[in-house]
Amino acid sequence: MPPPPPPPPNQRGPAFGAPAPGVSQWDQRQYQQPNAPFYPPAGYQSQYGGAYAGVGSRLGAFLIDGLIGALFTIPGLIVLFAGPRHITSCTVNGEPGLCKVPTGGTIAIAVLLYIIGFAVFLYLYSRLLGAGATWGQRTVGIRTVDVETGAPIGQGRAVGRYFAMILSGMFCYLGFLWAIWDPKKQTWHDKLVSSTVVKA
């Protein structure tokens, strides 16, 4: 089947920058300039994501993820408190006495389980975050995206963002509070990996 004939010379399509029928100016700009920075207007919902997420929803997601992360320490805690113990001399309220404490083997197994639990948690957490949203973010309806394209950040950057939260927690949690006044609602760990958090 032959292709349709071209339009007559005196008929033009919409000028560059003018939205096509049924397409908003914001979405049209994203099609014409796919590498343009991702700065959605407040409350706007587009193919790249919605408005920037507020600090309250981000805090809620952080707490939920923290509670889930704590579950991965349970095996180590069980071994530490229920594993073999031995009697040793100690000081109780300034007086010498005897205490029952975990053996060296018990402590070693508990530490090993802590490490394994953290590794499993970090793998699952970074995989979910790299794909868009963690458990907590899904619960409160937000997601993490690339600040320039709005695409998922990937697991590697998600791991880097997780450890970068240590920096955000320094100096009285200033790095977390930075999202309150930042125009793109980025924390320090967001800036380090070029991410931001938007409403899902």
Going residue by residue through the chain, which has 200 residues, state the pLDDT in tens, using 9 for 90 and above.
565 665 555 544 444 444 445 444 444 554 455 555 444 444 444 444 568 999 999 999 999 999 999 999 999 999 999 999 888 888 878 778 888 889 999 999 999 999 999 999 999 999 999 999 999 999 999 999 999 888 999 999 999 999 999 999 999 999 999 999 999 999 999 999 999 999 98
Asked if residue 41 belongs to a domain, the reply is: no
82 lies in some domain: yes
b/e burial code for range 72-104 (CB count within 10 A of at least 16 → b) = bbebbeebbeeeeeeeeeeeeeeeeeeeeebee
In a domain, 20, yes or no: no
Question: Which structural domain range is residue 67 located in?
Answer: 52-199
Main-chain phi, psi angles of 188, to 5 degrees: -65, -40
112 located within any domain: yes
First and final C-alpha spacing in the chain: 43
Number of structural domains found in the chain? 1
For residue 30, the tally of other CB atoms under 10 A from its CB is 20
In a domain, residue 106? The reply is yes
Does residue 18 form part of some domain?
no
Q: How many CB atoms lie within 10 A of CB 140?
A: 20
